Chains A and B, each alone.
Chain A
Amino acid sequence: MDKSRRNLLKGGAAAAGAAAFVAGYSEPLSRMYRGLSGTSGEKPKHPIYGNALEPEYTVDMGTGDITPNPNQRVAFTVCYGCTTKCGVRVRIDNRSETVLRALGNPYNPLSSDEHVDEATSVKDALLTTTLYQDQGWSKRSTTCARGNAMIAQISSPHRVTQCLKRSGKRGEGKWTAINFEQLIEEIVEGGDLFGEGHVDGLAAINDYETPLDPENPEYGPKTNQLLVMEATDYGRSALLRRFSDKAFGTRNYGHHGSYCGLAFRMGAGAMLNDLARNAHVKPDFEEATFALFVGSAPSQAGNPFKRQGRLISKARVDGDLEYLVVDPALNASVARSTTKRSRWVPIRPGSDSALGMALIRLLFERDGIAHDYLAYPNAAAAQAAGEATNTNATHLVITSEGHPRQGAFLRQSDLGQTEAGAEDDGVLVADANGNIVPAAEVTKATLFWKGDVATAEGEQIEVQTALNLLRASAMEHELETLSEACGIPISTFRRIAAKLAEHGRTAVVDCHGGMMSGAGFDAAFALQILNVLLGNVNHAGGSAHGGGSFNGTGAGPRYDLANFEGQREPTGVFLSRSRFPYEKTSEFKRLKEAGQNPYPARAPWRKLAPPTLTEHLPSALEGYPYPIKALIGVMCNPIYGQTGLRGLIEEKLRDPSVLPLYVAVDGFINETSTFADYIVPDSVMYEVWGFTGSWSGTLTKMTTACWPIVEPRQVKTADGEPVSMDSFFIALGKKLGLPGFGADAITDAQGNKHSLDRAEDFYLRAAANLAFTGDVLADATEEDIAFAGLERLLPELEATLPPDERGPVARLYSRGGRYQTFDAARQGDRLGNTWTRELCVWNESVATTVDSMSGKRLHGTARFMVPKMADGSAMRDHYPEEEWPYLAFSYKSNVMNSYAIGLERLRMIKPYNPMLVNRRDAERLGIKHGGEVVLQSPGGEVRGVAVVTDGVMEGCIGIEHSYGHKELGAREHVVDGEAVAGNRWIAAGVNINDLGFADPTREVAGTWLEGVSGAAVRQGLPVRLLKV
């Protein structure tokens, strides 16, 4: 053993709590003996309990009866502490209307282990969380550190509570408070709003008929000149998009996904044959026996955070799970106390496809694939054999070089057996005798087959099975090459492959945010295809798509909230040039006609990618494909979140001639909204309406209901409604005279019309849809209403809903949502909620897509890929190792999140983020533990503190995300001449995204994005490490 590593027990940041314990002793010496008995300090409320909170209720340990504390109430809603959006139970002081603490909602699977059945009364559900019959431990329902600390957002000194209009230049931090009605008037009508010249209001942009660019009619109408962006669906997206997409009719909506986990999501979507919605899978932790987590670390981070943390701790103690965490840095998932169950495998960031392909290769070599399963060529054959899914492993792909249908599946029409596109134009397979037969007509097909077939035109074309193509792709690179690329020894590849093969269908591969690299799509696709080869999808202990969510905002059983008269259909090209082939643009045709090579495009057109905010905003500011006139952002902060964006667009964002109008809706001023012209104060968590969904890996179907369990603290409209995202869009819709808002905007199931003037008009009707979906919920009892703190809600139910809906809707809110029962999670060795599409070994959509930069087709199956720039050149061609010897990567914090830095109770545990530097690198450069270092990238530099550790891959620098803020309270803002002081502690630490840079291979500027998805690259940024 390396002796120098002995005794290296390193306290992580939290260990510093020890210091705080000690520090406590430093002060009393000067305060000794203030009196014979007692001190001169503030007298606490109780001599023994101190200032502890009063219990929310008292339990009779004999009978289990609960007596509520009349000074408090408990209510169920959602937590905004991160994007998991757990259902929580919140203790509120009735006297001060302040939130005291938050815990988990026992009915909610995101917070509870075996969640309580909806049929259980609220009182009995709460009883399970108490010490009565010692249930509290096994039935606990929790919130995490963030969820606890987040209550401070409500009363934060940095919270925006008034409508603000900038009174200085953009980004100057000077504001004037105006009333809501003036704000709406100005945003809609425009004018010389800032003394800087005329600004078009939304009324001027509200033109759905006129093309915004007659030269390029495919760009769509002028309404596309409004970009609406939000952080994520915190339960209110349905109302937001009712305005943006359906009433105003802009094509341009974006959220944080493309700088969160999109590269992973598209890799998973390619495997699941769902590039439309990019569904993904998560392990069934409870039944899995072996799991490989790559760039995904349950209990360190990830969604759903608490649920995964709870399940992995249970699985490694009570279950049979053994797992490996493959990551550039050691993290919380690798637990010392269960060493035999969890181990860390270091990997170089951005190289995960090498691991994936090595494992695929070894599974082929050692015959570790699920042969029988993969050989079922259609769903019926698979089902007859007791399988829940089938794959396209046996389907034949046209591989003749240069064939117009190269990459597509061979279909009966190719052989002249039917018309192309006809209902019976099925894919073909090779049977055991090598005959080419329709996949639908056989129960087994050949896995590995390659040969020529004659087309209807008599042409001989080469075809081969999807699995053959995957194997060829895997055999293309030797294990040595792959090992060198990712830094994982070949022996470790072999050990992992052996485990996968040994555990088979209860072995599972999981990946997530670690895939946000310059080769992330290929990495995620490769790792996810391992699940197909193992045959674990839909299996207990395998990969789970999850139960999904109930939809209240669709055309529901009580109200049609999806459709309204005069509704618009967003059309035209997205700003991000997604889902639109470059080859169909007017630009492409013009270039072709002029005899010019249309490739590379001026900027990527990503046919497969969803609309991405990573491109929307910079492209709009660059004016390609077209400029915009207005931006509305809801809680959205791409400047902080997107790697390299600040350097790319900050100056343009400051310039009203480039972006004439920017309205932010948020309770806080963030790094992006600091450049806004107007800020609309929003409700913060516990004050909001909405319905939040589930996450994959939550095996049962669920929807969390959110309602203002405390009164929002920001200003009100002239009508007495809290100013919020909801009231803002409703007011905009009405002022613009758009359909879908105001009188008669909502139609019920009987055809009666109802108005949409208040948030309640929308959300309570959505609640009615949810309560009446499937089995109609029973009426809430008076006891339920009392124990769920619903008194505040009852007048709203009475004012908004007919009598027959009030009871079931109260029942829905009394449980904090709608849930499938726990026992629906599994059926025997299968998962209860299954993914029903054919799984892809070969994704035809991917294979037939032409890259707009290179003009070449993408590859339809997994392959080894190095991080690349937009034009397809390797990152290292531009930033060679000699100049940029290190790779920076980010990891999620287990305590902080990207907008939680204002919370003192998180800062006191983890005040900032020192950078992880490998011990050997540190020794080489003379960097000391705790010493100052500078990281330089092609786009910027950050300066910070080094933690010298063996817990990070050599040559790599780890940066915990969520620190290095410039806003959210870090700097001063002046409102009506009064300064709200900045807090310098909020600015502590560094943000990896400040190291991002513009992709030098594009004509129209953009940050470095993954090629297929347009996802921001933050894993594997080339950097220099300097000792200061």
Chain B
Amino acid sequence: MDLVKRMFMGQLARLAAGAAFVPLASVAHAKINEQPPRRGGDPEKRWAMLIDLRRCIGCQACTVSCHLENDAPLGKFRTIVSQYEVEDEATGDLSTFFLPRLCNHCDNPPCVPVCPVQATYQQHDGIVVVDSDRCVGCGYCVQACPYDARFINEHTQTADKCTFCTHRLEAGLSPACVESCVGGARIIGDILDPDSTISKMMDEHYSDLKVLQPEKGTHPHVFYLGMDDRFIDRPEALASVWDVRGEDFSEMGYEFSGH
């Protein structure tokens, strides 16, 4: 259990101080890697997600419904909502900030070129997927993702991540996280279709949309509305207290870390 804590804290230590404020409009399309050709998926579509943080109530319905829909191992998440207590720098008011996190299905995904066996690839419709028949579970892609969106599934021993529920999109159904979103914060859609809800919302709020860590040049396709600028990059945050203590205050750790 110590490992979880140490890695989390270690990661915090290398957080960049200060938050980048880079609205979508200014994101460069610079490529950080040579991307292999896209394959599969509908080339007429580009799936993307818009998360309207103003509507997110932090209820974790998305977290659990995704977990069930995609059979994720306990304690591993394809999506989760991080909760922060934040202070308004101008007024000193305290409030709660929720940050739903998932694979950003980047247009320039750093996880793809690092795959030694081309198991992870991007579809024509923009969705980044992992072919578990090919994946050797080396973990390079897990390391390459700046959003911590991937993990190794201990059951399949392959890289695992959000697929935008592509199996549901293909059936004309919403991803599990979207269809269960109580506040209506998550909107999925085809941004090549100008009439889609997501396209209209992106038009309406274009200058207010933010992405995570834009300076990495990954061109994420999960767009946030109502983002606290301090969270665009990794926030400098005091970690929550996560480890369970036993009756005699002995450390029990995290129940699902042993997987």
| Cβ of A60 to closest chain B Cβ, rounded Å | 7
From 214 to 259 in chain B, residues with beta carbon under 8 angstroms from any chain A beta carbon are: 226-228, 230, 235-242, 244-247, 249, 252, 254-257
Residue interface bits A136-159, CB-to-B below 8 A is 1, else 0? 111010111101110100000000
Is A988 an interface position by the 8 A CB rule? yes
Residue interface bits B71-95, CB-to-A below 8 A is 1, else 0? 1001111001111111111001111
State whether B56 touches A337 (Cβ < 8 A).
yes
- Bound together, the chains give a CA A321 to CA B98 distance in angstroms of 20
- Bound together, the chains give a CA A930 to CA B129 distance in angstroms of 38
State whether A337 touches B53 (Cβ < 8 A).
yes
State whether B241 touches A947 (Cβ < 8 A).
yes
Point out the residue from A13, A51, A944 that lies within 8 Å of B71, measured CB to CB. A51
Is A344 an interface position by the 8 A CB rule? yes
Enumerate chain B residues within 8 angstroms of A299, measured Cβ to Cβ: 57-59, 183
Is A12 an interface position by the 8 A CB rule? yes
Using A27-B154, A39-B136, A984-B252 as known contacts, say yes or no to A309 and B83 having CB atoms under 8 A apart: no
Is A18 an interface position by the 8 A CB rule? yes
Point out the residue from B11, B59, B74 that lies within 8 Å of A905, measured CB to CB. B74
Enumerate chain B residues within 8 angstroms of A333, measured Cβ to Cβ: 96
Point out the residue from A18, A25, A137 that lies within 8 Å of B142, measured CB to CB. A25
Enumerate chain B residues within 8 angstroms of A774, measured Cβ to Cβ: none
Instruction: Determine the residue in chain B with the shortest Cβ distance to A150.
Output: B64
Point out the residue from A32, A132, A312 that lies within 8 Å of B136, measured CB to CB. A32
Is B23 an interface position by the 8 A CB rule? no
Of A33, A47, A906, the most chain B CB neighbours within 10 A belong to A47
- Bound together, the chains give a CA A908 to CA B230 distance in angstroms of 27
| Cβ of B255 to closest chain A Cβ, rounded Å | 5
Is A802 an interface position by the 8 A CB rule? no
State whether A137 touches B197 (Cβ < 8 A).
yes
Point out the residue from A37, A43, A914 that lies within 8 Å of B241, measured CB to CB. A914
State whether A8 touches B238 (Cβ < 8 A).
yes
State whether B236 touches A7 (Cβ < 8 A).
yes
From 173 to 219 in chain B, residues with beta carbon under 8 angstroms from any chain A beta carbon are: 173-174, 176, 178-185, 187-189, 196-197
Point out the residue from B101, B163, B241 that lies within 8 Å of A930, measured CB to CB. B241
From 929 to 948 in chain A, residues with beta carbon under 8 angstroms from any chain B beta carbon are: 929-930, 932, 943-947
From 73 to 125 in chain B, residues with beta carbon under 8 angstroms from any chain A beta carbon are: 74-77, 80-89, 92-98, 101, 117, 119
Using A145-B59, A309-B59, A309-B183 as known contacts, say yes or no to A9 and B236 having CB atoms under 8 A apart: yes
Using A15-B82, A24-B76, A28-B138 as known contacts, say yes or no to A132 and B181 having CB atoms under 8 A apart: no
Is A306 an interface position by the 8 A CB rule? yes
From 392 to 427 in chain A, residues with beta carbon under 8 angstroms from any chain B beta carbon are: none
State whether A59 touches B158 (Cβ < 8 A).
no
- Bound together, the chains give a CA A1000 to CA B118 distance in angstroms of 73
From 980 to 1003 in chain A, residues with beta carbon under 8 angstroms from any chain B beta carbon are: 984-985, 987-989
Is A907 an interface position by the 8 A CB rule? yes
Enumerate chain B residues within 8 angstroms of A47, measured Cβ to Cβ: 131-134
Using A11-B83, A335-B95, A984-B246 as known contacts, say yes or no to A57 and B64 having CB atoms under 8 A apart: no
- Bound together, the chains give a CA A61 to CA B237 distance in angstroms of 45
State whether A42 touches B155 (Cβ < 8 A).
yes
State whether B138 touches A33 (Cβ < 8 A).
yes
Is B16 an interface position by the 8 A CB rule? no
State whether A21 touches B149 (Cβ < 8 A).
yes
Instruction: Determine the residue in chain B with the shortest Cβ distance to A131.
Output: B172
Instruction: Determine the residue in chain B with the shortest Cβ distance to A332.
Output: B58
State whether A337 touches B228 (Cβ < 8 A).
yes
- How many A residues are at the interface, by size bracket? 35 or more
State whether B93 touches A13 (Cβ < 8 A).
no
- Bound together, the chains give a CA A140 to CA B61 distance in angstroms of 13
State whether B172 touches A330 (Cβ < 8 A).
no
Is A924 an interface position by the 8 A CB rule? no
| Cβ of A324 to closest chain B Cβ, rounded Å | 11
Residue interface bits A324-347, CB-to-B below 8 A is 1, else 0? 000000111111111100111000
Using A309-B59, A908-B75 as known contacts, say yes or no to A39 and B94 having CB atoms under 8 A apart: no
Is B153 an interface position by the 8 A CB rule? yes
Point out the residue from B137, B143, B236, B257 that lies within 8 Å of A23, measured CB to CB. B257
Point out the residue from B133, B180, B196 that lies within 8 Å of A103, measured CB to CB. B180
Chain B: residues with Cβ within 8 Å of the partner, total of 119
Enumerate chain A residues within 8 angstroms of B70, measured Cβ to Cβ: 50-53
Enumerate chain B residues within 8 angstroms of A50, measured Cβ to Cβ: 70-71, 132, 153, 156, 160, 163
State whether B61 touches A32 (Cβ < 8 A).
no
Enumerate chain B residues within 8 angstroms of A932, measured Cβ to Cβ: 245, 249
State whether B174 touches A136 (Cβ < 8 A).
yes
Enumerate chain A residues within 8 angstroms of B117, measured Cβ to Cβ: 36-37
Is A673 an interface position by the 8 A CB rule? no
Instruction: Determine the residue in chain B with the shortest Cβ distance to A141.
Output: B179
Point out the residue from B92, B133, B150, B156 that lies within 8 Å of A37, measured CB to CB. B133
- Bound together, the chains give a CA A9 to CA B233 distance in angstroms of 13
Residue interface bits B50-69, CB-to-A below 8 A is 1, else 0? 00111111111101110111
Enumerate chain B residues within 8 angstroms of A754, measured Cβ to Cβ: none
Is A162 an interface position by the 8 A CB rule? no
Instruction: Determine the residue in chain A with the shortest Cβ distance to B143.
Output: A25
State whether B237 touches A11 (Cβ < 8 A).
yes
Using A13-B242, A49-B166, A909-B80 as known contacts, say yes or no to A5 and B95 having CB atoms under 8 A apart: no
Instruction: Determine the residue in chain B with the shortest Cβ distance to A34.
Output: B136
- Bound together, the chains give a CA A524 to CA B86 distance in angstroms of 30
Is B3 an interface position by the 8 A CB rule? yes
- Bound together, the chains give a CA A42 to CA B132 distance in angstroms of 10
Point out the residue from A15, A37, A57, A1028 that lies within 8 Å of B237, measured CB to CB. A15
Using A50-B70, A313-B185 as known contacts, say yes or no to A330 and B237 having CB atoms under 8 A apart: no
- Bound together, the chains give a CA A144 to CA B67 distance in angstroms of 13
Using A38-B133, A985-B244 as known contacts, say yes or no to A100 and B160 having CB atoms under 8 A apart: no
State whether B84 touches A11 (Cβ < 8 A).
yes
Instruction: Determine the residue in chain B with the shortest Cβ distance to A35.
Output: B136
Using A27-B152, A911-B242 as known contacts, say yes or no to A14 and B60 having CB atoms under 8 A apart: yes
Is B25 an interface position by the 8 A CB rule? no
State whether A39 touches B56 (Cβ < 8 A).
no
- Bound together, the chains give a CA A331 to CA B153 distance in angstroms of 33
Is B157 an interface position by the 8 A CB rule? yes
State whether A14 touches B58 (Cβ < 8 A).
yes
State whether B158 touches A12 (Cβ < 8 A).
no
Is A737 an interface position by the 8 A CB rule? no
| Cβ of B259 to closest chain A Cβ, rounded Å | 8
State whether A143 touches B61 (Cβ < 8 A).
yes
Using A10-B85, A313-B54, A950-B87 as known contacts, say yes or no to A44 and B132 having CB atoms under 8 A apart: yes
Point out the residue from A15, A39, A908, A950 that lies within 8 Å of B84, measured CB to CB. A15
State whether B184 touches A338 (Cβ < 8 A).
no
- Bound together, the chains give a CA A25 to CA B240 distance in angstroms of 20
- Bound together, the chains give a CA A951 to CA B84 distance in angstroms of 11
- Bound together, the chains give a CA A55 to CA B166 distance in angstroms of 10
Is A134 an interface position by the 8 A CB rule? yes
- Bound together, the chains give a CA A37 to CA B157 distance in angstroms of 12
Enumerate chain A residues within 8 angstroms of B5, measured Cβ to Cβ: 19
State whether A48 touches B131 (Cβ < 8 A).
yes
Point out the residue from A306, A332, A343 that lies within 8 Å of B93, measured CB to CB. A343
Residues of A near any B CB (own CB < 8 A) = 1-2, 5-29, 31-44, 46-61, 100-101, 103, 113, 129-132, 134, 136-138, 140, 142-145, 147-149, 151, 299, 306, 309-310, 312-314, 316-317, 330-339, 342-344, 894-895, 904-909, 911-912, 914, 929-930, 932, 943-947, 949-951, 984-985, 987-989, 1028
Besides A41-B158, A131-B169, A140-B178, 10 other A-B contacts (C-beta < 8 A):
A17-B82, A28-B142, A49-B167, A130-B173, A143-B180, A145-B61, A336-B228, A908-B74, A909-B64, A985-B244
Residue pairs across A and B with Cβ atoms less than 8 A apart, 9 shown, are: A10-B238, A18-B82, A25-B151, A31-B152, A43-B133, A51-B70, A148-B67, A317-B54, A947-B240
User: Which 4 interchain pairs have the tightest Cβ spacing?
Assistant: A24-B151, A41-B157, A59-B172, A337-B226
